[in-house]
A and B are shown apart, each in its own frame.
Chain A
């Protein structure tokens, strides 16, 4: 018997104890290196050429915060909207099912950018028009806050996609699970809460993580409705510094850091949930 090396007892113990994905270090995979790599590249650019790179990052700081704020707050709302949308879509009550399906079909059929423009430029005008014709001063003086409208537009659009993801997740759980829970005396809400949803979460986590990354990127569209996010700040910087190469490259790198980081966090959470279930 030729062996390249004899495993030590320690190695053997490790092998015996090894459950793939069980130890916390396994959840932090090699792809974190990519996040660090891109972050390092940005840092190097900033150190080597403070003008324009560092100047640009400093100028964009508030925009980066706005992008993160808009993404996270709309994502929380989207998770809630998606859950209610999916429950309505799977409801036996025709009215709920119909209105949820209508919502999904309409919102998925209109480009996000058009929706954002509509919410910021058309919706407030409609409200004021209503206020004028009904004689309600509170409505006539309505003025929209750009960030609020941006978050609302993103939520309403992405809520439709999220509804479908939740629905697919819930439907992937065999009907018997619900029936078994109900036969044990649980009501519908309890059966959903304790039996179906915990299992559905494992199925929907990967696409939900995907949606977060997509949302982060699409949040750049709120810049057209005067939200001073990363993209708008970058455009402002480039328009006064006339340096498209470094400007757009830096913006791309900053988005890349955020999306790669959020993808890693999503994958961490996914692995954590999948081990719990094993």
Chain B
């Protein structure tokens, strides 16, 4: 009797594990995002749901293309390596299209133009732009284009798990500057207008794209068609007005 129970129990456990393992995929397209990058992707403080420019855009594209998507909230550096190994089907996370990244995964057409900008404390007068950065302590989020740019400039880079920590450390006075995408930096400055300001102008030209796993080339086309459709409807302008206008 006891043995029978153990057998049945083992069988049921094994079966449920198996179902759980298969159920995970579920046919939905998994779209990764790092929801620490306002206003492109962040968590709504009340509902704890993903919100932001990218989230709205992705939902609209999925609707146009008739795709069933599911967001996965994941940190930035595992997101990058997860895309390279096709752990996720796609990623929309204010991701700049770069040559290095294009070797590892595919991209949709660009949907937004941004660039890097330097943020400093409001009382800082000696950092006037990117050229003042070599040798300074500069923060950025690990693996972002700001991080890469800072290293190329010869700054002493500190890489943070998320960009919010970098801005916090800047306000704490433990680093001299932060390099980040301009819409995001302007958002942080708007929220902390008494503490932060920009130094110099935007110094790179970058385009955000939706990353797609290499094994799913058909998704690129579907996303591009959906993107084109929503662009024609003027959704990008609507989203800029909704998410970015308040900062700029």
Chain A residues near B (Cβ < 8 Å) = 121, 124-125, 128, 141-144, 146, 224, 226, 228, 232, 235-236, 238-240, 242-245, 247
Least CB distance from B161 to A in Å reads: 6
B61 lies within 8 A of chain A by Cβ = no
Are A144 and B104 in contact, with the CB atoms below 8 A?
A: no
Does B206 have its Cβ within 8 Å of any Cβ on chain A?
no
The residues of A that contact B103 with a CB separation of less than 8 Å are 242
Beta-carbon contact of A239 and B80 below 8 Å: yes
Q: Is the CB of A124 within 8 A of B159?
A: no
Contacts of A238 in B (CB 8 A): 77, 80-81
Would you call B143 and A128 a contact (CB within 8 A)? no
Q: How far is the CB of B44 from chain A (nearest CB, A)?
A: 23
Contacts of B15 in A (CB 8 A): none
- Cβ-based interface call for B85 (8 A): yes
B50 to chain A, nearest CB (A): 22
B100 part of interface (Cβ distance < 8 Å): yes
With A226-B160, A242-B84, A245-B85: A236-B142 Cβ-Cβ less than 8 Å: yes
Interface residue from B143, B160, B169, B173 paired with A141 (Cβ < 8 Å)? B173
Cα(A144)–Cα(B169), bound, Å? 10
Complex contact A240–B100 (CB within 8 A): yes
Given contacts A224-B161, A240-B143, A121 and B172 within 8 Å (CB-CB): yes
Kindly state whether residue B82 has any CB partner on chain A within 8 Å: yes
| Partner-A contacts on B (CB < 8 A) | 76-78, 80-85, 100-101, 103-104, 139, 142-143, 147-148, 158-161, 165, 168-169, 172-174
A residues in contact with B76, CB < 8 Å: 239
Q: Which of A121, A142, A232, A243 contacts B81 (CB 8 A)?
A: A243
CA–CA, A236 to B159, complex, Å? 8
Quick one: closest B residue to A122, CB to CB?
B172
A242 contact from B104, B142, B158, B172, Cβ within 8 A: B104
B84 touches A244 (CB 8 A): yes
B80 partner, pick from A142, A226, A242, beta carbons under 8 A = A242
Interface of B, secondary structure class, is helix
A224: chain B residues at CB < 8 Å are 161
Q: A121-B165, A238-B77, A242-B104 are in contact. Are A128 and B148 (CB under 8 A)?
A: no
8 new A-B contacts, CB < 8 A, other than A121-B165, A226-B139, A240-B143, are A121-B168, A124-B172, A125-B172, A141-B173, A142-B173, A235-B143, A238-B77, A242-B80
Tell whether, in the assembled complex, residue B143 and residue A239 are in contact, meaning their CB atoms are under 8 Å apart.
yes
Contacts of B158 on A, CB cut-off 8 Å?
Answer: 146, 226, 228
Do B81 and A239 have beta carbons less than 8 Å apart?
yes
Residues of B within 8 A of A125 (CB): 172
Q: How far does the Cβ of A247 sit from chain B's closest Cβ, in whole Å? A: 7
Query: Known: A224-B161, A239-B142, A240-B100. Is A144-B174 also a contact (CB below 8 A)?
Result: yes
Q: Are B169 and A242 in contact (CB under 8 A)?
A: no
User: Which among B100, B101, B143, B168 has the greatest number of chain A C-beta atoms within 10 A?
Assistant: B143
- In the bound assembly, the distance between CA atoms of A230 and B216 in angstroms comes to 34
Contacts of A226 in B (CB 8 A): 139, 158-160, 169
CB distance from B29 to the nearest CB of A (A): 21
User: Nearest Cβ in chain A — how far from B56, in angstroms?
Assistant: 27
A239 touches B84 (CB 8 A): no
Residues on B with C-beta less than 8 A from A142 are 173
Measured in the bound complex, the distance between the Cα atoms of B148 and A125 in whole Å is 29
Shortest C-beta distance, A118 to chain B (Å), equals: 13
For B77, give its contact among A128, A141, A235 (CB under 8 Å).
A235
CB distance from A253 to the nearest CB of B (A): 18
B81 touches A242 (CB 8 A): yes
Separation of A106 and B165 alpha carbons in the complex (Å): 26
Residues of B within 8 A of A242 (CB): 80-81, 83-84, 100-101, 103-104
Give 16 CB contacts A-B under 8 Å.
A121-B172, A124-B173, A124-B174, A143-B173, A224-B161, A226-B160, A228-B159, A235-B77, A236-B159, A238-B77, A240-B143, A242-B81, A242-B83, A242-B84, A243-B81, A244-B84
A146 touches B174 (CB 8 A): yes
A143, B147: Cα distance in complex, Å: 22
Q: Which of A141, A144, A240 contacts B148 (CB 8 A)?
A: A240
* A128 with B172, Cβ < 8 A, contacts A240-B100, A240-B143 known: yes
Q: Which chain A positions have C-beta within 8 A of B161?
A: 224
* Interchain CA distance A165-B85 in the complex, whole Å: 45
Q: Which of B83, B158, B159, B174 has the most CB of A within 10 A?
A: B174
Specify which chain A residues have a CB less than 8 angstroms from the CB of B80 in the assembled complex: 238-239, 242
